A and B are shown apart, each in its own frame.
Chain A
């Protein structure tokens, strides 16, 4: 039997955590892809190979044939984790850290995702957006827990599967149908080719998001 309070809590957290997180991740991803035009071309080519007709929409099977998009999605989660301040825990039993210090039971621990993902010890040149970090070769020697976008363990993100399916589907459809060019605001013009494009200002309260949105001009792809 479930109580009304339990169900309303679920609805509340589902809606709060279930929509803006994926949206912000994709916004940061689109910024990164447009700041590196060759990457957008590669993603468009991959999407065109997976979706023969322009108005085709990805299925589960299609999503298996867009590996570059999958790596790009992971790299966006790495460089721009929306749960940027990370996971909070209280230790239920004492723990000895690999460095030798002992944390007693009850110690409050924060696993700060953004700081881990920008740690050059685990992610060389962490400010660079590089989907190839997630190729088998690029992942070699990296500890699994260096990637904390969805946390892990029993309290890991329950929506991880849904976020991946919906994120990849929408992205594949966008890259198949449109070419995007970054502009600097509502009335702006696209940045010229080769221009250094500033990263969008961010704001992090519950989730980390682009503070003033991410603005584009779009062109329909003909083929």
Chain B
């Protein structure tokens, strides 16, 4: 039994040679396959779901063909470069990424396909060009192509926006951010760095002296991270973070990054893929903008709260939240700490 568009239940017709001939005439060489797959079982019974199954199969194949044509004809640069195609690129790449070995996947495809590789993913407009030819790299990152990157890569631009700062993809925003931090990293301050480095290395050296005396084993990566966290917090916050605060801060940063990955990167990949069906680039871009704004608000609020707490715990003087003209409480961190040495200098 099946429900026809009229909404009434009708008994499907029993096997009718004339009817069958009409249906199979359109299949040509596919007739034996289709017959075996659908007709010989269902068509001859009281249940005519076979008609629905065939229609669904035809629709599916048509849709797949249309998507494939759009992929093939969308002018993607990766169509002209050698490289793995569709699922041959997506599956190994995602697998490598999940195992934390994406860099080794890059090595493999470059060795297999050449210095410049086109990675083609199974959706229109989704591609990536791997460039390892230094002359080409020169053109992309130094040469005539200014570093405007409104859409970096599928999903990744969303994650970058979630983190913000110098990782932002938007050129104008990036320019502002770069100008903000340039003084803190300027040559004028280089002279003050060795003293900070020495001061922050004291615990490491003491730990190593003790380990030498005890003949105990040390794990250097963790010890070094403590040193360089101390240095960077001295330079950005003006003072070293207390160990507990630092640990809490790093844990929270890890959480935020996880959140950025979970709430931005993965949904972005899905959204990008689904939005393939959007007829115009404008509509797709607008949809991305709306979703991204929501994500950024959520992540940004957590990030600001965390940074403010860290600064307060580090003993940095923070003015009221009104902060007119100074960027609020967090702005005060930079105006009182990070920028001060340069003004004195």
Cross-interface CB contact of A203 among B76, B100, B311, cutoff 8 Å: B100
Q: Does B264 contact A (CB under 8 A)?
A: no
Question: What's the least CB distance linking B201 to chain A, in Å?
Answer: 6
Q: Does B27 contact A (CB under 8 A)?
A: no
Asked, given contacts A4-B323, A112-B110, A158-B182, whether A217 binds B149 with beta carbons under 8 Å apart, the answer is: no
CB-CB under 8 A from B141, the residues of chain A are 87, 89, 111, 145, 151-153, 155-156
CA distance A163 to B130 in the complex (A): 27
CA distance A162 to B211 in the complex (A): 28
CB-CB under 8 A from B132, the residues of chain A are 111-112, 115-116, 119
Asked, given contacts A89-B147, A178-B208, whether A13 binds B137 with beta carbons under 8 Å apart, the answer is: no
Q: Does B103 contact A (CB under 8 A)?
A: yes
Asked, given contacts A112-B132, A218-B212, whether A18 binds B228 with beta carbons under 8 Å apart, the answer is: yes
Asked, given contacts A13-B166, A90-B148, whether A103 binds B129 with beta carbons under 8 Å apart, the answer is: yes
CA distance A55 to B237 in the complex (A): 28
Of the listed stretches A24-32, A37-45, A68-76, name the one at the interface; the rest are far from the partner chain: A24-32
Cross-interface CB contact of A95 among B139, B152, B190, B304, cutoff 8 Å: B139
Q: Does A196 contact B (CB under 8 A)?
A: no
B193 in contact with A165 (CB, 8 Å): yes
> What is the chain A residue whose CB lies nearest that of B141?
A153
A23 in contact with B224 (CB, 8 Å): yes
Q: List 14 A-B contacts (CB under 8 A).
A: A2-B326, A7-B328, A12-B256, A23-B224, A24-B221, A85-B103, A92-B145, A155-B147, A161-B187, A162-B190, A166-B231, A170-B224, A178-B212, A203-B100
Please give the residue numbers on chain B whose beta carbons come within 8 Å of chain A beta carbons, in ascending order: 75-77, 80-81, 100-104, 106-107, 110, 115-116, 127-142, 144-154, 156, 163-169, 174, 176-178, 180-182, 185, 187, 190-191, 193-194, 197-198, 201, 204-205, 208-209, 211-213, 215-222, 224-225, 227-229, 231-233, 235-237, 249, 253, 256-257, 300, 303-304, 306-308, 310-311, 323, 325-331, 333-334
